[in-house]
Copies of this chain bind each other. A is one copy, B any other.
Amino acid sequence: MGKLTIGTFSSLVGSLSLDFSVKLAEAAVKKGHKVDFWMSGNATMLAKKGQKAFKDYSYLSKTIQEMIATGNFNITACEACAEARGYHKEDCPDGFLRKSMDWYLASTFEADRVLHIGGD
């Protein structure tokens, strides 16, 4: 089994790029791989507590919590990107970490594959 590091920089709702990254992580975790999931820029929108589920919008919290429960999934938001958006420590969902950008670079060190999803 391998390790996949995914870096996401796109936005939550409306952009299915972020949904893609979560679904890919889910498929990898289900196959027994380890996944590190990094959110920077607008992707930190995923790292906000209390998101209400609407039919019009994808809702990723449940999938993420299930992945966290496996122990093979780390999810970390860029702290500065979160603060710039007004997301403070207490806004961070359970099981999510907040770190500086070097966490992402460090995660690539032992990763077998890195997928950097750069744009919105």
Contact = CB atoms under 8 A, between A and B. Distances in A.
Contact of A86 (B14, B41, B50, B84): B50
A61 to B, nearest CB: 10
A51 B85 contact: yes
Contact of A84 (B15, B54, B84, B91): B54
A45 B85 contact: yes
As for how many copies of this chain the complex holds, the number is: 2
A89 to B, nearest CB: 12
A20 interface: no
Contacts of A41: 13-14
Interface in A25-39: none
A57 interface: yes
